[in-house]
Chains A and B, each alone.
Chain A
């Protein structure tokens, strides 16, 4: 134990300026400032600090900020909703999207060129599905950058990834919007079981993982199309969405789950969930030792989802995953234990699980502060926030996120995007971030104004400017090397505007900004 304490000290000495306990703890209040705690919560429970925000949260109280974030009732920020509602990707009805998609398929079947095939439909509404999809993706980035409901937006992203749907699979181009808006966002902070049921009846999911094509196996009649059950969704439901790969289920459970969920599909006319009794397997099944007697219908699926949502393996699996997202790639057992206790005590209320994680010692441990490598998505949104940008109409950002290696809603595998640093760090990934930083500060990204650069009271004197950027963007974690390098660049610069641009570009591309 002495040995490990010594090593802990070594790690700390290599990382000056990291925060530890919340400032309310008298034992350590002397060495940790409220700003350190504010920076930490804005990096983990939000999409990164905007200029001035660390000071504001620190002075108003970190605990108060956390309580307010946990108390919000919907992901949608009421102050932003009116802006959102002017977006074509939110106003266009699902039925219209289905029409556009069907017209596109007809055009493609006739052999029209790909470009022409994208365009179809009435003149008074968007005809290009791509435009709608890019608008929706850029809306997502805009919400993450601008919403005051920051924790809710982080959770919405977490669940969008946990219940991943691949945008480019067939009609998921049409159905994904409703998956996020109607299944994920309304339940992102509430009861997990409701979220699970919402995703299990989400047409986008039913299509993505092929449950919509899964029908009860009938005695062969020589028909070529007699396909029987499709295990795809059943397997991922157990492996990814609930129990976890080591959650204690067998291949027989996968098949039984698939049989329970036969008939859960999509109404082709409306694009909504539909249970088709004729496709349902009415035989008896057993899942995880729970028996589902013969003759059951749609209700047995809901019973199954209840069993899964409340299963200890599910609680442990998802608590661990939440701790990995919010605390550390390899979360401390104490964090997971606190989260699972809160899960059990609250009946799976997500906001209570989050509250327990944020209250855990693990969340405030020195070793986790400013150490978690940002995903490309986290990098891009935190850079937009650091620049005080309002990316309301910036479709180019969607492509930029793709260039960074994490195209939004385009993870084809149901696993979602990985969380670990090693999955995101590579030579080209870092270069892509540096180039992205330079493009953002250069003002060449349409719809993104780096407001920070034109802030009136930003000092021109090099040392003062570096100090200010350290406080505003990095919360005071800038290393001596970074400080010296930027300072040298500033001394060599002649034009103050170009100097600012270079300095901010270097901060956003610095190693410190790649971590949170």
Chain B
């Protein structure tokens, strides 16, 4: 029985693909270079801080006495803090984000996170990325469900959804196609022969064209179409604008290339990039040190991106996330262990900037999650859902976050 079922599924997929009847691929013209009247679409940029960022160092609850009591060695010196309001301050290395706050382009959400009680990185990442924290084994990502629901508007570009990195993140996994691009400048078929030699690419393309190979053929056709568009558009020619200076390293490169795709008007709707190095169990440091260096790269990257895009930020929102936060109390090694609630940012022209949203539960022991961690007072799905509805106009959050009963609005958009 299962063989027959499998045969049916394969035959079904194959039939649809060879007839070109899969709605997700239907009607896309082979050489569609850019969207008509480009710039009409909006872009959501998802930035995942993998490894669980210490939200209490990123957005410091300077007005909470317990912060100073519990962090004798790693509390940030008061004089260094970038004050936001009478309760919160930014880490001193987040000067770029402070500028965005002052320009009312950035808001923070504190004590946000997943209801999943796990302190395992991968379980918590699955819980957050699937959008179904009580069923983290769900293979499909929440952003993919958004793409499936709204598949009609953007079918003319392979660049609708792009993940920067070596592999497709769970957030985008699912039936709607996404491109996975490690680096725009090397995306393509490379031969030892001269640059610009496209003969091998076209040979491989003929190999994959019309083959009954299901997901393999579908992914290949996405890739080849993207290669052709990139060749035509050459986003690499778009140097950072407005004097933007991206930090060195992978994260800065990903953001710079996301900005290139947005400026090239290829129809990018969801972009995804990772930044890791947040699992600071040992010697995380205060103003300087390991965590400070990561935050510097993080903030400077976002700052450069906003500068680079200039007025195009009207159509762009950045949403940052991390799987959980870290313990309120520093550990014996000058670090912090796996915790619960953390802080996230939203950035964009349409964002009601200059606020720290969410209810602050306080750091007193009786207010903590399981007596040790920052409690979660805002479910991440309420944050993500608000961004989807306000920025991308999503209409059906119950499909994107199944089983979730929406909480109060955070009021992040004007």
Which of B5-13, B34-42, B291-299 is near enough to bind chain A? B5-13
Partner of B204, one of A245, A412, A506: A506
Please give, as numbers and ranges, the residues of chain B lying within 8 Å of A428 by CB-CB distance.
166, 179-182, 187, 223
CA distance A482 to B226 in the complex (A): 22
Fill in one digit per residue for A178-214: 1 if any B CB lies within 8 Å of its CB, else 0: 0000000000000000000000000000000000000
Judge whether A413 and B121 touch: CB under 8 Å: yes
Q: How far, in Å, is A456 (CB) from chain B's closest CB? A: 25
Task: Give the docked Cα–Cα distance between A438 and B3 (Å).
Answer: 36
Residues in B181-234 with C-beta less than 8 Å from chain A:
181-182, 187-192, 200, 203-204, 206-213, 215-217, 219-220, 222-223, 226-227
**A15 adjacent to chain B (CB < 8 Å):** yes
Tell yes or no: A50 within 8 A of B by CB.
no
Complex interface: chain A residues within 8 A of B6 (CB): 328, 330, 367
Contact (Cβ within 8 A) B203 A485: yes
Q: Are B220 and A225 within 8 A (Cβ)? A: no
Bound Cα distance from A417 to B192, whole angstroms: 31
State whether A405 touches B11 (Cβ < 8 A).
no
Which residues on the B side are within 8 Å of A482 (C-beta)? 207, 211
Asked if A438 and B200 sit within 8 Å, CB to CB, the answer is yes
Question: Contact at B220–A511, with CB atoms within 8 Å?
Answer: yes
Q: Is the CB of A479 within 8 A of B211?
A: yes
Q: A370: shortest Cβ distance to chain B, in Å?
A: 11
For the complex, is B75 an interface residue (Cβ under 8 Å from A)? no
A371/B2 in contact, CB under 8 A: no
* Complex CA–CA separation, A189 to B301 (angstroms): 50
B311 at interface by CB-CB < 8 Å: no
- Contact mask for chain A residues 413-457; partner B; CB cutoff 8 A; 1 contact, 0 none: 111000001100111111110110010001010000000000000
B210:A405 contact, CB within 8 angstroms:
no
B7 with A8: CB separation less than 8 A: yes
Extra inter-chain contacts (16) besides given A11-B11, A486-B203, CB under 8 Å: A4-B7, A4-B8, A5-B4, A7-B7, A225-B332, A412-B122, A422-B139, A426-B179, A427-B222, A428-B180, A442-B191, A481-B209, A482-B207, A505-B200, A506-B204, A511-B220
**Alpha-carbon separation in the docked complex, A434 to B191 (Å):** 10
User: Nearest Cβ in chain B — how far from A179, in angstroms?
Assistant: 19
Q: Is the pair B332, A426 in contact by a Cβ cutoff of 8 Å? A: no
A486 and B4 alpha carbons, distance in the complex (Å): 34
Name which residue of chain B comes closest to A443, CB basis. B192
Does B99 have its Cβ within 8 Å of any Cβ on chain A? no
The answer to whether B364 has its CB under 8 Å from any CB of chain A is no
Contacts of A11 in B (CB 8 A): 7, 10-11, 14
Binary per-residue interface labels of chain A (382-405) against chain B in the complex, 1 for a CB within 8 Å, 0 otherwise: 000000000000000000001101
> B44-87 toward A: CB 8 Å interface, digit per residue (1/0)?
00000000000000000000000000000000000000000000
Interface string of A6-37 (1 = CB under 8 A from B): 01101100110000000000000000000000
Could you say which residues of chain B place their CB within 8 Å of the CB of A405? 166-167
Contact at B207–A506, with CB atoms within 8 Å? yes
Bound: A11/B6 CA distance, A? 10
**How distant is the Cα of A506 from the Cα of B168 in the complex, in angstroms?**
25
Tell me whether A427 and B226 are in contact (CB under 8 A). yes
Q: Residues of B contacting A412 with CB < 8 Å?
A: 121-122
Which applies to chain A's interface (DSSP): helix, strand, loop or mixed?
helix
Query: B7 to A232, Cβ gap below 8 A?
Result: no
- Which residues from 105 to 147 on chain B have a C-beta closer than 8 Å to any C-beta of chain A? 120-122, 137, 139
A442-B192, A506-B207 known; A371 vs B10 contact (CB < 8 Å): yes
CB distance from A405 to the nearest CB of B (A): 5
Cβ-neighbour of A511 out of B1, B203, B207 (below 8 A): B207
| Contacts A405-B167, A426-B167, A438-B200 given; does A485 touch B173 at CB 8 Å | no
Is A314 located at the chain interface by the 8 A CB criterion?
Answer: no
Q: CA of A288 to CA of B191 in the docked complex: distance in angstroms? A: 58
Question: Please, which residues of chain A bring their CB within 8 A of the CB of B212?
Answer: 14-15, 479
Q: Which residues of B contact A486 (CB under 8 A)?
A: 203, 207
Contact assessment for B11 and A14 in the assembled complex, using a CB-CB cutoff below 8 Å: yes
Task: Compute how far the CA of A224 lies from the CA of B6 in the bound complex, rounded to whole angstroms.
Answer: 56
User: Do the beta carbons of B3 and A367 come within 8 Å of each other?
Assistant: yes
The reply to whether B178 and A426 contact each other, CB–CB distance below 8 Å, is: yes
- How far is it, in angstroms, between the C-alpha of A486 and the C-alpha of B208 when the chains are bound? 12
The verdict on A297 contacting chain B, using a C-beta distance below 8 Å, is: no
CB distance from A388 to the nearest CB of B (A): 21
Q: Given known contacts A428-B180, A431-B189, A511-B216, is B223 in contact with A7 (CB within 8 Å)?
A: no
B8 lies within 8 A of A431 (CB)? no
Interface presence of A52 (CB below 8 A): no
Nearest-CB distance from A294 to chain B (Å)?
27
Residues of B within 8 A of A434 (CB): 189, 200, 204
Question: B358 on the interface (CB 8 Å rule)?
Answer: no
Instruction: State which residues 323-375 of A face B: CB under 8 Å.
Output: 328, 330, 332-333, 362, 365, 367, 371, 373
Q: Nearest chain-B residue to A429 (Cβ)?
A: B180
> Judging by beta carbons under 8 Å apart, are A429 and B167 in contact?
yes
- Please report the C-alpha to C-alpha distance between residue A515 and residue B191 in the assembled complex, in whole angstroms: 23
> What's the nearest-Cβ distance from chain A to residue B384, in Å?
22
Closest chain B residue to A498 by CB distance?
B193
